[in-house]
Structure 1
Amino acid sequence: MMRQYELVERVAAYKPDLDEGLLNRAYVYAMQKHGSQMRASGDPYFSHPLEVAAILTEMHLDEATIAVALLHDTIEDTDATRKEIDQIFGSKIGQLVEGLTKLKRLDLVSKKAEQAENLRKLLLAVADDIRVLLVKLADRLHNMRTLGHMREDKRARIAHETMDIYAPLAGRMGMQGMREELENLAFRHINREAYDTITERLAELRERHAETIETIERDLTERLHANGIEAKVTGRQKKPYSVFSKMQRKALSLEQLSDIFGFRVIVGDEDACYRTLGIIHRTWPTVPGRFKDYISTPKQNDYRSIHTTIVGPSRQRVELQIRTQQMHEIADYGIAAHAVYKDGGFDQNKPVVLSKDSNAYGWLRRTIELLAEADNPQEFLEHTKLELFQDQVFCFTPKGRLIALPRGATPIDFAYAVHTDIGDTCVGCKVNGRTMPLVTELRNGDEVEIIRAKGATPPQAWESVAITGKARSAIRRAARISIRRQYSGLGQQILERTFARSGKSFSRDALKPLIGKVGHRDIEDALAAVGRGELSSQDVLRAVHPDYQDSRAKRVPGPGGEKGWFNIDTAAGMIFRVPGLATNGSGEPGTDAIPIRGVGDDLPVRFGPDGAVPGDRIVGILEPGKGITIYPIQSPALIAFDDEPENWVDVRWDIDAGMNTRFPARIALAVINEPGTLAEVAETIAANDVNIHNLSMTAMAEDFTRMIVDLEVWDLQHLNRTLSQLRAKPCVSEVSRMNG
């Protein structure tokens, strides 16, 4: 276990002006508080915060951060209090220690809402002071290094948790060295067999290619020195998890991977990076498509380097990364290195926040914006995980603005990345000047122009196409708003007609004071609930007019088996025949019926399984959560709703000659079972300009087959003409419409 003076010496090596007293007080306080506590490994518990502090010294962090690392478990696991820590170490350190206590666990086996809430707290705390994340990641790294002492079930949970949250979060913050170690430690416990196999094979390859690696290092160093560039060239081997994930992602064997070995070339400045690149490309042939300049276009986690692949001295592919020492430290330590390079360094009494020029800060800010946009914690968690795991492509707007997107992103994601309003009104796109589908996968360097239409709204199906959290969240939100607006409009129409039939007048103002009484937050919510069938229009009527007496008609079958239905006016005791819910007794819908144009209407309307077409006398059934379902009045399915008179809605067709809309109808045919029958039926239907939406066939007997065909027709006349022509076919024994 590291001694007190050794910890002080570590920090003094890179920060000569350190506050030695702060470190000494924190060391002694934490050791006394943890006392005789032991870890699962049998080591004193204090060894854990001490090792966390040691990890942070490797990142050259200030003494305040090291002190927080020493103290991070004291409030959680000892009798220490926030007040006591404030008195001894200052309020800022006390705030950080308490913040880490609240973020003690991100438990993947807990409820999703709880997990999301903990992740939300973590990101908000990181936005306030990045030292929270640095200590949290160091804490997790040491726990992973000692995970073998835990129970097997706990090891699996913690390893998955690390792979799903902590490792990608470290990567997003640019801390590549920590990400790689966390991934490999987690991989070892998640898939031990694969880990051992790949580790063994990598060791064999390293031994086999040791001489080649030394030769390339020497050749590169000498070549660059001869051209006036002093460089440090080091060979490196991919980590086991990196190899495994690439094999899985690209379905390759280990022998097929061309970049297991790579080389880092560290030079003095940015200009030397490009000069080095020129020398290398003039000396060895390059592999096409394997060049990336992350210096001019940094990654979202602020990673900067030049990547290129050449065909090396022994005709093998060699991957090279060219960077400066500062770029190298930022690549390894990410936001920790950024904090070190800031003017003035750390101040223990002030929060350390990411620079607004940092891409990591931009990602963090956008992710926190999702907190407000997501409707629930699970949504936020889903979006954040999507963002954490994605690699990047870089695209441009027509004006040259750079947009970084996850790999696999589409123009839909691009539109929402530019601005939510652009995504919401997007109707098309041009990629590199050519009109392309919105599902096109974007590539590095694409110029994307979004075509917009005023008043357009994103289809809900886009949610399955978009891959960024921002786009999915915005599409889902727009769909909710659109559906709410539709149901709200339908609810208002239902209430207006309900009130009118009762001799009352509906107004929003009259309903406002009673919103709480009907169990909703605002007028729109209440109207939408009526439209969805979740709130009865009669209940709203009684809430507004408590003295109202229900005199609704009850629908009953005709006497003596007579075909048709009758209404019994329960108030007047009168019986009159109505083929729908018409109130004028004429056999046609009343003038106050809700107009129905079709499924594409702006009301949430759908048709029953057997369909309905213009010319049918129709009735609407308000089903909870589904809106209005339209049935022909003769449909046997309506019997199921006899005991729900409050859900019957008076509807009428609203069709004009200019409409180009087909409507659903289902027919049944009994046909002769012989070759060519199906073709003849299909030809007859097609000759009548009728579309077949679905078809099923069942054997009735040896010589006959029953067909159920879902058609799409213009109206009742169009359907009847088609049925007549089908009846005339010799192969058709019987044909009828399936709605009674």
Structure 2
Amino acid sequence: MLDEYLEPEQVAEVYQAYLFGAEAHDGQHRLSGEPYITHPIAVARILAELRVDHLSIMAAILHDVIEDTKVPKEMVEKRFGKHIAELVDGVSKLTHIHFENKAEAQAENFRKMMLAMTRDIRVILIKLADRLHNMRTLGVMRPDKRRRIARETLDIYAPIANRLGMNNVRLELEDLGFSALYPLRSKILEEGLKKARGNRKEIVGKMEETIKSRLKQEGLVGRVIGREKHLYSIYKKMRDKHLSFSEVMDVYAFRIIVDKVDACYRVLGAIHNLYTPVPGRFKDYIAIPKANGYQSLHTVLMSPYGVAIEVQIRTEDMHKVSEAGIAAHWMYKTNEGISNNAQMRARQWLHELLEMQQNAGNSIEFLEHVKVDLFPDEVYVLTPHGEIKVLPRGATAVDFAYAVHSDVGNQCVAAKIDRRLMPLRTVLLNGQTVEIVTSRGAQPNPAWLDFVTTAKARSNIRAYLKNLHMEEAVLLGMRLLHKSLAAHGLSLDNLDDDQVNAMLTEFGFESMEQMFSEIGFGNQMAMVVARVLLATEQDEVHDDQEKAQGTPLAIKGTEGTVVTYAKCCRPIPGDPILGFVTSGRGIVIHTEDCKNVAEYRNRPEKWIDVKWEKEIEGEFPIDIRMLVQNLRGVLARVAASLSEMEANIENVTIEERDGLHSTLSFTVSVKNRQHLARIMRRLRKLEIVSRIHRLKR
């Protein structure tokens, strides 16, 4: 097989790898009792069928020698060179990766596998071939181990094969995984498929001949092949679309393979004249390829026999790439144009993986992002310049903005969809033209995480917010420490390097920035840090709580997420307030008369004196409850009055008390107590309002 496409000297190198591997595995056996070397040889054969390069074949033969024998990586490198050694080592590191253990360990293993793949795509090709042979020989395993391996095959390996365009590998992995995970369901479907195959034979033959005859009349040359449905795809359609077996099998599938792209469209015209096309079921994946590089024309027709026909039309080159995907780069290297699409898209995906890895806060987050990308159901939208962007179904304008560039996403404020101004949460449809409106001062909104669908958007938003929170925490921590030191007549500027370094060592901080952020997030008390600094400045430190408090911290309304306002009492500018330091959240502001303040009084070290700045930015939510007459139009009149007073309504609930009165509860945004007082006076003037008060929970 190898001498069909490799040079004689390359075949000789592969043979040397075989001799080395056979010697290394000598005396080892598989669970089936066969010599262990039969497994790496079978893996190499799978790759040889894909016509991969000789280095990958050699690495496949040697892929278990580092892990399962006493042969070190250095010996492999000395014998076969650094390239082979790195490939073998890359695959070895993936050998014991499983996806069923605890969440963090599972996610970390997944991250390692994805990163190994980004370094050299051939690592995952060898791993996929290794998994395919293991699935073919799964019968000797214990039932619980069979199920675990089958589950991770369906969840991880088959989707990766699909993402890399390796359709044949993906289909076999899915069917083998399905039969191992659900043996009874698989057996029932297989028996049904055999029976249906016999019943369909005559109709399939007639339709195939009719299509061939029409192509001949039109002077078109092409192969017409009946497409066989696979067990797992039948099962998924039945499960996901709630179809019966007969409903799935009522659709007949054909593939027409021609020599040139223009012939694809001519064939499409010919079969549309032959059978009636089903509206809305035509897809042009030639003009707009799938994310994995797949290209074909898809159409659905109604035959005279009353059954639907799915037809795929493609060129020979497209067919080769659809079967082999990324492996077509090696399989058909004599024709550089064949695999460009799959190669380019695979590289683009790998580049995005690296970007996600850098932005992800932890392994679980990374796993979540990548799993989203492994199951794409795509929509195709256009930039104003006509460039096509491929996004998952359900993607919004924000997802599109991040697909253009992370900076565009971070600064987007609105979207023009087909020249109409639309909200950023608008879900995009096929064929729409999208233009993103940006503003230099804009930044991502945490609420976007509730509706974005792409991993790129999600990871970029989280990364930006994480950095933003860090900056806000550093600034707040700096202010809190300055305040604590000022209470003792000191300033950070007056401390020398030795004092600062002693303090950093005491708390295990690596830098001043880390110290400020820990104080800002509430993980460390500014007063405690100040005491350590003061201990280096003077012999005795007074624990006078009142003195340590010093000047109250001024709240400006611009502190960001590290200063939040308690929902129990909803403080607004003008209210007497206190600050409660909460680990991981920073400072939570309460009103002095809040019922929770009394409960927290036994933890005085957590409270800090705060006050409102004279000029406050932003608006603050408060709750108003009123008793109103139960008349038509009451809600409209109250809402109109609130609007006149420039108060935004965030929420409203209505509760009927009796036939005469109802209770209205509003959450409105106000600037300060004076603004609230004006609103209350305005509402009291309404004759329909019997009682009104500010509500504190």
TM-score over 0.5 for the alignment?
yes
> Where does residue 491 of structure 2 map in the other structure?
505
- Identify the range of structure 1 (223-232 vs 470-479) with the bigger mean alpha-carbon deviation: 223-232
Select which of 480, 503, 512 maps to 1:523.
512
Residue 489 (1) aligns with residue 478 (2): no
Select which of 426, 445, 453 maps to 2:412.
426
TM-score between the two structures when normalised by the length of structure 1: 0.82
Contact 2:25 2:36 survives alignment (8 Å): yes
How many angstroms apart in 2 are the aligned matches of 1:429 and 1:734? Answer: 41
Select which of 618, 622, 630 maps to 2:589.
630
Q: Which amino acid aligns with 1:386?
A: V
* Pairs aligned (count): 681
How many angstroms apart in 2 are the aligned matches of 1:678 and 1:622? Answer: 47
Structure 2 gap segments, 5+ residues each: none
- Identify the range of structure 1 (395-404 vs 253-262) with the bigger mean alpha-carbon deviation: 253-262
How many angstroms apart in 2 are the aligned matches of 1:464 and 1:734? Answer: 35
How many angstroms apart in 1 are the aligned matches of 2:588 and 2:263? Answer: 71
How many angstroms apart in 2 are the aligned matches of 1:357 and 1:319? Answer: 28
How many angstroms apart in 2 are the aligned matches of 1:474 and 1:73? Answer: 38
Superposed displacement of residue 143, structure 1: 0.7
How many angstroms apart in 2 are the aligned matches of 1:421 and 1:713? Answer: 31
> Where does residue 527 of structure 2 map in the other structure?
538
> Where does residue 66 of structure 1 map in the other structure?
57
Q: 1:136 and 1:717, CA in 2 relative to 1: closer, same or farther beyond 3 A?
A: closer
Q: Which amino acid aligns with 1:93?
A: I
Select which of 611, 619, 622 maps to 1:664.
622
> Where does residue 173 of structure 1 map in the other structure?
164
- Identify the range of structure 1 (257-266 vs 130-139) with the bigger mean alpha-carbon deviation: 257-266
Residue 137 (1) aligns with residue 128 (2): yes
Q: Which amino acid aligns with 1:245?
A: K
Q: 1:146 and 1:615, CA in 2 relative to 1: closer, same or farther beyond 3 A?
A: same
Superposed displacement of residue 448, structure 1: 0.8
Contact 1:410 1:440 survives alignment (8 Å): yes
Contact 1:156 1:190 survives alignment (8 Å): yes
Superposed displacement of residue 724, structure 1: 13
Residue 323 (1) aligns with residue 282 (2): no
Q: 1:543 and 1:166, CA in 2 relative to 1: closer, same or farther beyond 3 A?
A: same
> Where does residue 195 of structure 1 map in the other structure?
186
> Where does residue 139 of structure 2 map in the other structure?
148
Q: Percent identity?
A: 36
Select which of 522, 538, 547 maps to 2:537.
547
> Where does residue 342 of structure 1 map in the other structure?
333
Higher helix share: 2
> Where does residue 106 of structure 1 map in the other structure?
97
Q: Alpha-carbon deviations, 1:653-681, whole Å to 9, x = none?
A: 34669x773443588x9x9xxx9789999
Superposed displacement of residue 519, structure 1: 3.0
TM-score between the two structures when normalised by the length of structure 2: 0.86
Residue 12 (1) aligns with residue 9 (2): no
- Identify the range of structure 1 (534-543 vs 206-215) with the bigger mean alpha-carbon deviation: 534-543
How many angstroms apart in 1 are the aligned matches of 2:7 and 2:377? Answer: 39
- Identify the range of structure 1 (217-226 vs 148-157) with the bigger mean alpha-carbon deviation: 217-226
Superposed displacement of residue 137, structure 1: 0.7
Superposed displacement of residue 174, structure 1: 0.8
Q: Which amino acid aligns with 1:476?
A: R
- Identify the range of structure 1 (503-512 vs 189-198) with the bigger mean alpha-carbon deviation: 503-512
Select which of 554, 557, 570 maps to 1:594.
554
Partner SS state of residue 503, structure 1: coil
> Where does residue 150 of structure 2 map in the other structure?
159
Select which of 459, 462, 478 maps to 1:476.
462
> Where does residue 250 of structure 1 map in the other structure?
241
Contact 2:321 2:342 survives alignment (8 Å): no
> Where does residue 393 of structure 2 map in the other structure?
407
Contact 2:683 2:689 survives alignment (8 Å): no
CA RMSD of aligned residues (A): 3.9
Trace 1:607-622 onto structure 2 (pairs within 5 A).
607=566, 609-622=568-581
> Where does residue 289 of structure 1 map in the other structure?
280
Residue 371 (1) aligns with residue 357 (2): yes
How many angstroms apart in 2 are the aligned matches of 1:544 and 1:711? Answer: 45
- Higher gyration radius (CA): 1
Contact 2:165 2:293 survives alignment (8 Å): yes
Superposed displacement of residue 471, structure 1: 0.7
- Identify the range of structure 1 (639-648 vs 230-239) with the bigger mean alpha-carbon deviation: 639-648
Superposed displacement of residue 237, structure 1: 2.5
> Where does residue 447 of structure 2 map in the other structure?
461
How many angstroms apart in 2 are the aligned matches of 1:620 and 1:737? Answer: 21
Q: 1:301 and 1:509, CA in 2 relative to 1: closer, same or farther beyond 3 A?
A: farther
Superposed displacement of residue 417, structure 1: 0.9
Partner SS state of residue 29, structure 1: helix
> Where does residue 424 of structure 2 map in the other structure?
438
Q: Alpha-carbon deviations, 1:386-432, whole Å to 9, x = none?
A: 11111222211111122121222111111111110100011111111
Structure 1 gap segments, 5+ residues each: 1-9, 346-352, 555-566, 571-580, 584-589, 700-704
> Where does residue 397 of structure 1 map in the other structure?
383
Q: Which amino acid aligns with 1:469?
A: A
How many angstroms apart in 2 are the aligned matches of 1:354 and 1:472? Answer: 29
Q: 1:127 and 1:654, CA in 2 relative to 1: closer, same or farther beyond 3 A?
A: closer
Partner SS state of residue 238, structure 1: coil
Q: Which amino acid aligns with 2:526?
A: S
How many angstroms apart in 1 are the aligned matches of 2:416 and 2:682? Answer: 49
Partner SS state of residue 237, structure 1: coil
Contact 1:610 1:665 survives alignment (8 Å): no
Residue 47 (1) aligns with residue 30 (2): no
Partner SS state of residue 393, structure 1: strand
Contact 2:190 2:231 survives alignment (8 Å): yes
Q: Which amino acid aligns with 1:617?
A: P
Partner SS state of residue 413, structure 2: strand
Superposed displacement of residue 208, structure 1: 1.5
How many angstroms apart in 2 are the aligned matches of 1:644 and 1:390? Answer: 51
Q: 1:201 and 1:438, CA in 2 relative to 1: closer, same or farther beyond 3 A?
A: farther
Q: 1:679 and 1:492, CA in 2 relative to 1: closer, same or farther beyond 3 A?
A: farther
